Amino acid sequence: MPTPYQSPISPGRSWYEDTAGPRPEYPALDGSTSADVVVVGGGFTGLSAAAHLAKAGTNVVLIDAHRFGDGASGRNGGQLGTGQRGSLDEYEAEVGWERAKALFDLAEEAKAHLLEFASVNNIEIDFIPGQLSVAHKQRYVDDYRQYADYLRERAGYRHISFMDREETAWRVGSTRYFGGTRDLGTGHIHPLKLVVGTARVAAAAGAKLHERTKALKVRNRGTKVIVETPGGTITADKGFIATNAYNDGLEPESTAHIMPIGSFIGATVPLGADSPVLPGGESVDDSRFVVRYFRKSRDGRLLFGGREIYAVSDPKDIPAAIRRQISEVYPALKDIEITHGWGGYVGITAPRKPFVREVMPNVISAGGFSGHGVMLSNFVGKLYAETVAGNRNRLKLFEDLKVPAFPGGGRFRSILLFLALNWFALRDRI
């Protein structure tokens, strides 16, 4: 039997890889070429941009250093969420109601767009509706109640309701949480199926897709954008950098603003039809700063994500670390078999807002969706295509967000973040 493929940039073989169906390979770039737009990075952001650009008739070349989805996009928790990563009231306090609401509406459109894109292009993404956001400490319960009221009354978002402790226990299938909200206007998906499908759509529309083609350098020459790879040089009018947490120094502005943070998921064996775990099929995220997120797959497995503590390296035994976390929420599953354990790198920014910026003439970089990128990264790819077509107004809403670089440089920066995040991890426990 051939050795199963393992992403060279993210640890562990994911359950998604075993269930995504055929994952066509795209050839490495062999020879120099030119295009209207060159896209670097084949996760949701880059693939969505390529699909929308190609559909609009733009000549686009997309390269990825590895295989599409090997970064965060093929390996994440699959939760769509609602709104931006921060709450609408925080945005309102910072940028005023009009812009905050425009960003909220954009996120709502992102959600609808993702589902519609999959549907019209016949991509089966295993969408399951519903999300529970739950308080792991009593002191947070009132915040959830107030936020549900605020979203309903101020933003007219009617899909969300408050859950008391009893309802939360029944819907989660665990007495571990104190209350929360139930949002029926969102849900969760199989992310790698979306990656594979989006690549198929982009290729069918005429985008030239290349895997195993690493950008070694991105630079300007006159009005042109030049991307150098081992197989040849790509010369284009515009460039889009969609390398997110995996940028690794390719473009210094992106690296300075987007920090990679490891996050890990375990998949259990199917729990069985009589399991009390998540009887309504919703996904869950909790109030910890080091958030726990979990859901059931279509075939009844618990896919449980999180990490115990921020560390510089990946945990040696992902299934054991995840089993410990599962048993805190579901003591009856303390010995459950975990068939898959894997991880990936979330791109976060200091204020947890996306980083979208023109980093050199005619080159825009986008990433740092801070754990909220399933719907937003796909949509930012579409907004980039709109920008190339002449309408930058909507991408501008993201470009205008204040996203400072992380303090410190190189190794010092990672150590500062390590200390800060461990402080928050400690606070989650008290």
Ligand X SMILES: Cc1cc2nc3c(=O)[nH]c(=O)nc-3n(C[C@H](O)[C@H](O)[C@H](O)COP(=O)(O)OP(=O)(O)OC[C@H]3O[C@@H](n4cnc5c(N)ncnc54)[C@H](O)[C@@H]3O)c2cc1C
Q: Give the footprint of ligand X on this chain (CB under 6 A).
A: 9, 40-46, 63-66, 70-73, 75-79, 81, 214-215, 242-248, 250, 263, 265, 293, 305, 343-346, 367, 369, 371-374, 377
User: Positive or negative CA dihedral for 87, 88, 89, 90?
Assistant: positive
3-state secondary structure of 152: helix
Q: Please say whether the beta carbons of 355 and 368 come within 8 A.
A: yes
208 vs 205: CA distance, rounded Å: 9
Identify any residues that bridge with 367 across adjacent strands, giving them in sequence order. 355
- Cβ-based nearer residue to ligand X, 80 or 141: 80
What's the token pair of residue 17? 């890889």
Q: How far is the CB of 307 from ligand X (least distance, A)?
A: 9
Nearer to ligand X, 96 or 289 (CB): 289
Q: Which is nearer to ligand X, 78 or 179 (CB)?
A: 78
238 phi, psi to nearest 5 deg = -140, 155
Q: Which residue is nearest to ligand X (CB)?
A: 373
Alpha helices, H only, 121-213: 141-153, 165-172, 191-204
DSSP of 310-340: --SS--S-HHHHHHHHHHHH-GGGTT--EEE
Burial of 284 (0-12, 13-18, 19+ CB in 10 A): buried
CB of 370 to ligand X, least distance (A): 8
Closest distance of CB 267 from ligand X, Å: 12
Distance CA(224)–CA(227), nearest Å, equals 10
Residue 242 C-beta: closest distance to ligand X, Å: 5
**Cβ 362 to ligand X shortest distance, Å:** 18
CB of 342 to ligand X, least distance (A): 8
Chain centroid to CA 94: how far?
A: 24
Shortest CB 153 distance to ligand X, Å: 26
Residue type at 85 in one-letter notation: R
Task: Identify the burial level of 154 via C-beta atoms within 10 angstroms of its C-beta, where 0-12 means exposed, 13-18 middle and 19 or more buried.
Answer: middle
Neighbours of 192 (CB within 10 A): 26
78 or 341, CB closer to ligand X? 78
Q: Which is nearer to ligand X, 29 or 141 (CB)?
A: 29
User: Which CB atom, from 49 or from 388, has the smaller least distance to ligand X?
Assistant: 49
